[in-house]
Amino acid sequence: MSELETRLAELGVKLPDVAAPAANYVPFVQVGDIVYISGQISQNADGLILGKLGQDMDTEAGAAAARTCAIGLLAAVKAACGGDLDRLVRVVKLTGFVNSTGDFTEQPKVINGASDFLVEALGDKGRHSRSAVSAGALPLGVAVEIEGIFQIK
């Protein structure tokens, strides 16, 4: 088990298998030492995490949903690294989309669920630049979708 996976296990996190794409795209693209991970939707072992922030979901629940997206991102990074997560150099950037009402303004607090988790799990490797934006709807009605850019060796 890699050093990073040992840390994840200490946090009670087991990386899921990377889901097959549902349309005409790939889970990741590598260009040099940079890996672009396709958007990961909020889901856990129980299924999709659905909801609209500001309507039927609060900020805390949204942050928990964003955390599941970060776990999905790491699973895709592991796949991009041929199964060796220790090849991860750092998280470069996240772009988070929050399914929210027009008057909901706490998108950054929602995406903190992913950012905080990555720093907790990866330390300084997890610090990244970021955008957090509102979306009137997301695929399948999920609460959060996050895409990421990562540097690997």
In a domain, 90, yes or no: yes
Strands 88-99 and 34-41: unpaired
Domain of 129 in residue numbering reads as: 3-10+26-152
Asked if residue 20 belongs to a domain, the reply is no
Average the pLDDT over 96-115 and give the result: 98
- φ, ψ of residue 5 to 5 degrees: the values are -70, -30
Residue 17 lies in a domain: no
Q: CB 137: neighbour CB atoms within 10 A?
A: 11
pLDDT digits (tens, 9 = 90+) for 35-87: 999 999 999 999 999 999 999 999 999 999 999 999 999 999 999 999 999 99
Q: How far apart are CA 38 and CA 11, in angstroms?
A: 24
Q: In this structure, what CATH number is given to the domain that contains residue 100?
A: 3.30.1330.40
Domain contains 16:
no
pTM passes above 0.95:
yes
* Domains: count for the chain: 1
| Structural domain contains residue 77 | yes
Q: What integer pLDDT is reported at residue 1 of this predicted model? A: 73
Average pLDDT over the chain reads 96
